[in-house]
Amino acid sequence: MEQTKRQPGKRGWRFVLLALVLAVAISGLIRSLWLDVYFIPSASMEPLFLSGDRILVSRTDFRAEPVRRGDVVVFDGRGSFAPLNSGKGPVADLLAGAGHWLGLAGSDSTYVKRVIGLPGDHVVCCDAAGKLTVNGQQIAEPYLYGGDAPSELAFSVVVPAGRLWLMGDHRSMSADSRSLLGAPGGGMVPLDRVIGRPVQIIWPLDRFAALPRPVQAAATSTTNGQ
């Protein structure tokens, strides 16, 4: 009597396929609820981030403690920022969308910027000393790209409730809230569009480093331009 031969090869492929599907599902769950990876394609956040960096972003940090002035945030720019140009051409100032681990594709609606103005803040640039002020007080900005002015564009804005005024650290290379003055929304980003906070540079390996949350941006008393 002829016996049917087992086909371990087919079972092996089924197991591999099932494992792959489960891995993707688990990864998707983690990245939608806790952590995600984004690609930096431009110089707008130098020196903190360089073009080509890949960063790990926590989706939970701001649940425990609200966004504060000085925080770096990754956010969905649809309805506010998108699309913007930033020096290199269309979408050059954008982060890659969720799931682009290798940075092979970009997203035209996801950005990374620094929080300069919180809801209710009066943000002005610049005062007689050439400094950015919030609510009449100069803001210390040690993160600024070397040689950059706080802003070449003068502005005076009051941030509406539920929104943020955001700027890049490399001000001369960044398309940010300043670029949308006069547009609907005035460049203000809704708080509920914030995706999370960058917590780690993971690539390239020679830049592998944790990104501690900065302290609330310190304000110093104005000096009447002296």
User: What does the pLDDT read at residue 226?
Assistant: 33
- pTM for the structure as a whole: 0.76
Count of CA atoms in the C-beta half-sphere (13 A) of 129: 15
Class of the 34-220 domain?
A: mainly beta
Residue 169's alpha-carbon distances to 115, 166, 172, 202, in angstroms, are: 10, 10, 9, 20
Residue-level pLDDT, tens digit, the chain, 226 residues: 445 455 555 666 665 565 555 444 444 444 545 588 999 989 999 999 999 999 999 999 898 789 999 999 999 998 888 766 544 433 344 443 434 444 444 456 889 999 999 999 999 999 999 999 999 999 999 999 999 999 999 999 999 999 999 999 999 999 999 999 888 888 899 999 999 999 999 999 999 999 999 877 655 444 433 3
DSSP 3-state of 40: coil
Beta bridge partners of 58: 35, 197
Q: Are strands 189-190 and 163-167 parallel, antiparallel or unpaired?
A: antiparallel
Extents of the domains making up the chain: 34-220
How many Å apart are CA 134 and CA 158, to the nearest integer? 10
Contact 57, 74 (CB under 8 A): yes
Contact 165, 193 (CB under 8 A): no
